[in-house]
């Protein structure tokens, strides 16, 4: 699949920790590139936030149609950069950082992962290898997750005497239910790809590299009705925050909004003329 390189958010003179490519299929790919284990440092999270926010703010003709988030062919992300949670140097190099520093680190996670979750298009995490702690939370911030058969997931923070701080107690519970989320969070155990699929943590498991399968899914979204996809995603996400009755009213509002888009004009006209599934969206 042909691709063309887009922008990055790296510091001038230094390589980016998150690479951004836009493929000819219309899919944007964000690749974590922080050797050796893609630790989610404050710097990496900052780059991720900048890229996601930038994509969300693009004009209509340059707006993302679908986004794939990956860590490459060997691993997704092993979690937060634990060294940033400790005082470095001095007489007590292993002492915990002060409360304000920890709050800043947590805020970096919140801003970056919320920016990914807020992207106005379908997002897919392509998970090879491990997605632990913050890595699992980044995958949870995406709409869908495609995993290699060798992938492993977990929220092991409890084993360090702390708890998840990037959505692991919230997005995970909403995805797999509170009992299964408590099992993973309270034990800190890892699950393999097969169990992750069984409990609904991932949507597809493939043999070998997960990236091609994720790109195939994303390309199908990229050729679809961008406005309708954005409205449907927004309705689902916003509906999770309100009562069912309020959500149904919200859905009606988005339903009406959809009829004011080119997607509806193209899709309905195509259905009436050619039947279902034949519309060509732009």
Active-site residue list: 80, 134, 137, 157
How far apart, in Å, are the Cα atoms of 273 and each of 268, 269, 277? 9, 6, 11
Kindly state the tokens that stand for 30. 């964000």
The alpha carbon torsion through 111, 76, 181, 161 (nearest 10 deg) reads -80
Task: Say if residue 208's pLDDT is above 80.
Answer: yes
In the numeric block, the tokens 């107690």 are attached to: 169
pLDDT bin (cut points 50, 70, 90) of residue 136 is very high
Between 97 and 188, name the one with better pLDDT.
188
Q: Which percentage of the chain shows pLDDT scores above 70?
A: 92
- Cα distance between residue 215 and residue 104, in whole Å: 34
Pick the CATH number of 3-222 from 3.40.50.300, 3.90.226.10, 1.10.1060.10, 1.20.1260.10: 3.90.226.10
pLDDT at 259: 95
What mean pLDDT comes out for the span 124-146? 98
pLDDT at 8: 53
Chain centre to alpha carbon of residue 21 = 16
Q: What is the pLDDT of residues 236-260, one digit of tens each?
A: 999 999 999 999 999 999 999 999 9
Q: Which percentage of the chain shows pLDDT scores above 90?
A: 80
- Cα distance between residue 122 and residue 86, in whole Å: 36
Pairing of strands 18-23, 3-5: antiparallel
Average pLDDT for the chain: 91
Terminus-to-terminus CA distance in the chain, angstroms? 20
Pick the CATH number of 226-274 from 2.60.40, 1.20.1270, 2.40.10, 1.10.12: 1.10.12
Task: Say if residue 5's pLDDT is above 60.
Answer: no
Task: Say if residue 263's pLDDT is above 60.
Answer: yes
Between 104 and 221, name the one with better pLDDT.
221
Q: What is the pLDDT of residues 152-164, one digit of tens each?
A: 999 999 999 999 9
- Cα distance between residue 140 and residue 202, in whole Å: 9
pLDDT at 100: 76
Domain boundaries, the chain: 3-222, 226-274
Task: Say if residue 87's pLDDT is above 90.
Answer: no
Q: What is the pLDDT of residues 218-228, one digit of tens each?
A: 999 999 999 99
CB atoms within 10 A of CB 12: 4
- H/E segment holding residue 144: strand 144-148
**φ and ψ of 88, to 5 deg:** -105, 135
pLDDT at 60: 81
* Highest mean pLDDT of the ranges 82-86, 89-93, 98-102, 226-230: 226-230
Task: Say if residue 85's pLDDT is above 80.
Answer: no
pLDDT at 88: 62
- H/E segment holding residue 205: strand 204-206
pLDDT at 3: 45
Kindly state the tokens that stand for 257. 């909004």
Task: Say if residue 75's pLDDT is above 50.
Answer: yes
Kindly state the tokens that stand for 52. 């996601």
- Cα distance between residue 67 and residue 90, in whole Å: 43
The alpha carbon torsion through 23, 196, 234, 138 (nearest 10 deg) reads -60
């Amino acid at each position: 699949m042909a691709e063309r390189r887009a922008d990055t958010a790296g510091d001038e003179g230094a390589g980016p920790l998150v690479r951004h490519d836009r493929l000819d299929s219309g899919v944007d790919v964000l690749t974590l590139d922080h050797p050796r284990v893609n630790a989610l440092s404050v710097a990496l999270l900052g780059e991720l936030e900048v890229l996601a926010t930038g994509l969300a703010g693009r004009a209509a003709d340059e707006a993302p149609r679908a986004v794939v988030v990956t860590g490459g062919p060997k691993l997704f992300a092993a979690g937060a950069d634990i060294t940033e949670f400790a005082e470095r140097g001095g007489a007590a190099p292993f002492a915990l950082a002060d409360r304000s520093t920890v709050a800043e680190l947590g805020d970096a996670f919140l801003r970056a992962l919320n920016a990914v979750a807020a992207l106005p298009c379908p997002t897919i995490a392509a998970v090879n290898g491990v997605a632990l702690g913050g890595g699992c939370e980044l995958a949870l911030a995406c709409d869908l997750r495609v995993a290699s058969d060798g992938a492993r997931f977990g929220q092991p923070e409890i084993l360090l005497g702390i708890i998840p701080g990037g959505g692991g107690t919230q997005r995970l519970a909403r995805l797999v239910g509170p009992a299964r989320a408590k099992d993973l969070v309270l034990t800190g155990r890892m699950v393999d790809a097969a169990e992750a699929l069984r409990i609904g943590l991932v949507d597809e498991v493939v043999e070998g590299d997960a990236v091609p399968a994720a790109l195939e899914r994303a390309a199908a979204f990229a050729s679809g009705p961008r406005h309708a996809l954005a409205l449907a995603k927004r309705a689902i996400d916003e509906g999770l925050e309100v009562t069912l009755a309020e959500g149904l009213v919200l859905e009606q509002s988005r339903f009406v909004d959809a009829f004011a888009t080119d997607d509806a004009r193209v899709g309905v006209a195509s259905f009436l003329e050619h039947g279902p599934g034949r519309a060509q969206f732009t």
